Amino acid sequence: MAERKLCILYGSQTGTAQDVAERIGREARRRHFSTRVMPLDSYEISTLIQESLVIFVVATTGQGDEPDNMKKFWRFLLRKDLPRDSLMQLNFGVLGLGDSSYQKFNFVAKKLYRRLVQLGANSLQSVGLADDQHDLGPDAVVDSWMNILWQQVLSLYPLPPGTQIISSSVVPPPKYRVIFSPPNLENGIHNHQSTNGREIYQNGGVSAPSADEPYYASILSNERVTAPDHFQDVRLIKFDVHGSNIRYNPGDVVMIQPVNSSESVEAFLQQLNLNPNDVFSLEKNDPDIHLPPDWLIPKHCSIRDLVANYLDINGIPRRSFFELLAFHAKNELEREKLLEFSSAEGQQELYSYCNRPRRTTLEVLQDFPHVSSTIPVEYLFDLIPAIQPRAFSIASSPQRHPGEIHILMAVVKYQTKLVKPRRGLCSNWLADFQQDGVVHIPLWTKKGTITFPTDPSIPVILVGPGTGVAPFRSFIHERSCQKIKGNLLFFGCRSQSKDFYCEKEWKDLCDQGLLQVFAAFSRDQEEKHYVQHELEKQKEIVWKLISDQGAWFFVAGNAKQMPTDVRDTLLAIFRSEGKMNEQEAEDYLKEMERKRRFQMETWS
């Protein structure tokens, strides 16, 4: 009989792909497979030629980009010297997680599937393409895909004689072991500075900050850039990173790790009847599951710090949360409802209860008071994912703003049918900080999806409505330090008097002849006027720069409708000014995209 080993590898940016991979892992163990679940870049890729069964769960980020924790794996897999039959022994499945509002929907999953087939691997079934935009969320595809997967897997790897699939009513073992320390144990961590309940160690610039060892920055300024009476609060926040060894280029991204509000932490501790001063340490319960980094959960961590810094209690719980919570429910009514929410049949009701009103994990636990007060601490790590770092386009220039990182951030606050307004965790946390010189903010940088031209003779056309202008501010200031001309900015907002970000900066650069700004104010006249309309007005200039001077064209901002409208307008310009038919215009744009002369960075 074939060896019953299953490896589940995931590429995850926000944690969703990891959650799905861990769910597949639990199902695999119920079927008596020896199972490993790990990020793609933590896997020793040279052993892939020895694997017989691997499931890949991969998200798509940005404009068809692979997640950070699978970049190394993907580079290796694309090597041209890999033999075409190198993976002939491998049976595999690929499940993609994407969002169909983006042009390159599930691009990474499709590419991975094709590459594995090219290398001779045997697909157990067609690639799964889960969609965030589906009325029932990604699980609408994930459920049916997994059902077919297990049928195929068990036909190749039957259950061992005398065994049955472990009942779904049996609680799986926890991810980690939690060892509580004796009362009054000294923390035992030296050379740290404690801020906001988090233990801080600055590396003194010895190495570049990273997700495993961030830099703790202070805030230089926190300026509101919208009018006081405007409905939206947008901030230009400047961080002090002198001595951090941080290096970045225009187009790069800063990652910021937020913490939960003290109000929500206190409510969670009370709801779960936890002693905030209890101190614990974590041990592995599965050799293939890594412990969280020390800076997030130090060797001796208090329950309060765990809740404040690690558990995403303000996130919207995924289906697996209800599935695992049901195991601990003693109250029959609560257990019945949790099982319904975790079933395939209950997904419409779960969506209406949880996703549509944006109900948080804390609020769900408050709605299920009997089970929430009896959850074993060790299962908190399985039930509630870690707080994910937030990514912001860097809005500052390394030359003009040395030792600083700027971000342009909208403070997220909105109303649903729930009484309490929904508040973005990171944006509201940052908005409350003022300039005080105290070290607060864990951050690090990573390469962005936008790459700007380094040749000063190349003009650029930048379309950045709203906070989409952030990476362009970085690049424009970088070029202005070198007195480089040929910079066109199309900016869009509601009103010139309410939310024209950085207006004075742009005017100064325009006066110096280093910038041209074409602004679209959608609410300053009766008819709506957006960036695509301003682009159409300036079509002769746009076409001349692209066709005669080889200009690069960039779009950044909200992914809803704007990117498609701008793209369609650009194609119309190619047709009218370049005298092209539809196919010629499309081919011209695709060639620009291939040469990186046309780039988009959008987010939902």
370 is in an annotated binding site: no
602 is in an annotated binding site: no
60 is in an annotated binding site: yes
CA distances in angstroms from 45 to 9, 41, 74, 91, listed in the order given: 11, 8, 10, 16
118 is in an annotated binding site: no
**How many angstroms separate the CA atoms of 491 and 499, rounded?**
11
599 is in an annotated binding site: no
Which runs of consecutive H residues, i.e. helices, occur in 103-215? 107-118, 139-156
244 is in an annotated binding site: no
111 is in an annotated binding site: no
93 is in an annotated binding site: no
Contacts of residue 99, Cβ cutoff 8 Å, sequence gap at least 6 = 60, 105, 131, 132, 133, 559, 604
Which regions of 112-251 does DSSP assign to beta strands (E)?
122-123, 128-131, 176-180, 193-195, 198-200, 215-224, 234-240
528 is in an annotated binding site: yes
Phi, psi torsion values for 144, nearest 5 degrees: -65, -35
CA atoms within 13 A on the CB side of 302: 20
374 is in an annotated binding site: no
532 is in an annotated binding site: yes
99 is in an annotated binding site: yes
**How many angstroms separate the CA atoms of 586 and 588, rounded?**
5
91 is in an annotated binding site: no
155 is in an annotated binding site: no
104 is in an annotated binding site: yes
319 is in an annotated binding site: no
61 is in an annotated binding site: yes
CA atoms within 13 A on the CB side of 462: 29
132 is in an annotated binding site: yes
168 is in an annotated binding site: no
578 is in an annotated binding site: no
524 is in an annotated binding site: no
270 is in an annotated binding site: no
565 is in an annotated binding site: yes
62 is in an annotated binding site: yes
184 is in an annotated binding site: no
In the sheet that holds 390-393, the strands lie side by side as 390-393, 253-256, 441-446, 215-224, 234-240, 404-410
15 is in an annotated binding site: yes
522 is in an annotated binding site: yes
222 is in an annotated binding site: no
Residue 139 amino acid letter:
D
544 is in an annotated binding site: no
86 is in an annotated binding site: no
16 is in an annotated binding site: yes
504 is in an annotated binding site: no
Strand partners, 491: 519
Enter the tokens of residue 590. Answer: 């695709």
**Chain centre distance of CA 570:** 29
Residues tagged in the binding site annotation: 12-17, 59-62, 97-106, 132, 358, 390-393, 424-427, 467, 522-523, 528-532, 565, 603
Residues tagged in the binding site annotation for FAD: 358, 390-393, 424-427, 603
Residues tagged in the binding site annotation for NADP(+): 467, 522-523, 528-532, 565
Residues tagged in the binding site annotation for FMN: 12-17, 59-62, 97-106, 132
